[in-house]
Amino acid sequence: MDMGCCGCFGFSFAKKQKKNLRPRVEGGNHVLQGLLLNHEVVEEEEEDDDEEEEEDNNSYCDNMTDNERGDHEEFVNPSKNSQEILVYRTENGLICREFPVKETYKVVRSEDENGNKMVNEYRRECKIGSGSYGKVVLYRSQVDGKHYAIKAFHKSHLLKLRVAPSETAMTDVLREVLIMKMLNHPNIVNLIEVINDPDTDHFYMVLEYVEGKWVLEGAGPPGGLGENVARRYLRDIVSGLIYLHSHNIVHGDIKPDNLLITATGTVKIADFSVSQVFEDENDMLRRSPGTPVFTAPECCLGKSYHGKTADIWAVGVTLYCMIFGQYPFLGDTLQDTYDKIVNDILCLPEDMNTLLKNLIEGLLCKDPMQRMTLEAVASHSWVVGEDGPIPEYLCWCRRNKLQREQSVGSQTNIISHIN
């Protein structure tokens, strides 16, 4: 059952470029394709949480030199790392949601009368995803009767799994939680509750359950989803990403696997496990932790790049996949794929929709300075179609800001009138 919420967990590359592009990775075709497309190879976990075996303490930084570790830390730790920024925003009420995420500090694990496992009010139904950090399980609340997708982790495992010289997987998970605590948008998966009992090893993220997701292989009619469906999906993706970027958040891994589709056809962006937050518009990064075939050319060269423009490239690759049912640049190896992303010319059919061709070329412009902006995409003729420009979303923090400005303006007018 390949559906539900947040099926991908934080997987990233940490090998340093020896030349202009990333190094070749040796291995069988199955492993190479898994790395290129970021489809993780994981062993099936036991259904009984208590019988799950912890993975050995390991790190993808084990074989890195000191310089390579420094490069990786530059990605994980921008000038002021995401954790510091997120904690500051949280402590100062700078979050964009009217109602805060519920926080529960007690875990009660039990069974119902039919032997189904329970976590607090939630009754387990089935596993719907897994990754390198944990798993995702479908639960039904016994309070409101709704389904929820719950990410389940073992804290001891997260603390042993080192992702950088000074950071563990727990850092990634806590950053993801802090980011999702800030967000509230119709095109972003909503975090409902965090369950973290200090007296147990269990840690849970209770997420809005999204019924399905669009997977590239075999999706829709031959060749892709068709222009009408692709346009509708793209509008939702762009709306959600504009919201993230306006809050100085770079997603870092936009791709079909992280774009979930509701029963009514609404797209919701999921999986913030490699996302980064910035204090201001300076979104410079050094390392790209996303999926290789969705990686922007500037990210393949081992130089600093703007995270937001890299997100936009990934949107372009996603649109290409939706239209043609394949990837624009895919080689037999990692090195070959990065070579193609950097050097190959984008080939589009001569007889395709002229407006759509212009849009894809703008999104997949290899020069990040010339690449189309999200605002330009939102008002592009192909995107507008018969529905008009993508509506501007007035988020919670902007509504508050406008209300404060109006209040100050009213007070000023009253004082002026009195004087």
CA-only gyration radius of the chain, Å: 22
Residue 291: which of 258, 245, 249, 324 has the closest Cα? 258
Please tell me the predicted confidence (pLDDT) of residue 415: 64
pTM of the predicted structure, to 2 decimals: 0.78
Domain boundaries defined on the chain: 29-46+54-211, 213-384
pLDDT of 131 over the 80 cut: no
pLDDT of 92 over the 90 cut: no
Find out whether 135 is annotated in a ligand binding site. Answer: no
pLDDT of 24 over the 70 cut: no
Please tell me the predicted confidence (pLDDT) of residue 416: 65
In sign, the C-alpha dihedral spanning 117, 123, 127, 132 is negative
Q: pLDDT tens across 361-384, in order?
A: 999 999 999 999 999 999 999 999
At the top level of CATH, which class does the domain 29-46+54-211 belong to?
A: alpha beta
Q: pLDDT tens across 153-209, in order?
A: 999 999 998 887 888 899 889 999 999 998 999 999 999 999 999 999 999 999 999
How wide is the angle at C-alpha 161 spanned by C-alphas 77 and 62, nearest 5°?
75
pLDDT of 126 over the 90 cut: yes
Please tell me the predicted confidence (pLDDT) of residue 382: 97
Structure tokens at 101: 């995420």
Please tell me the predicted confidence (pLDDT) of residue 409: 63
**pLDDT confidence of 57, banded at 50, 70, 90?**
very low
Least confident range from 148-162, 207-221, 272-286: namely: 207-221
Please tell me the predicted confidence (pLDDT) of residue 201: 94
Q: Mean pLDDT of all residues in the chain?
A: 79
What is the average pLDDT across 44-71? 41
What is the average pLDDT across 261-269? 92
More confident residue, 236 or 96: 236
CB atoms within 10 A of CB 48: 8
Going from the C-alpha of 289 to that of each of 61, 73, 272, 310, the distances in angstroms are: 13, 12, 12, 11
**Active site residue: 172, 236, 253, 311, which one?**
253
pLDDT of 120 over the 60 cut: yes
Q: Does domain 213-384 have CATH number 1.10.10.10?
A: no
Contact of 403 with 396, CB cutoff 8 Å: no
- Whether 253 is a known active-site residue: answer yes
Please tell me the predicted confidence (pLDDT) of residue 282: 75
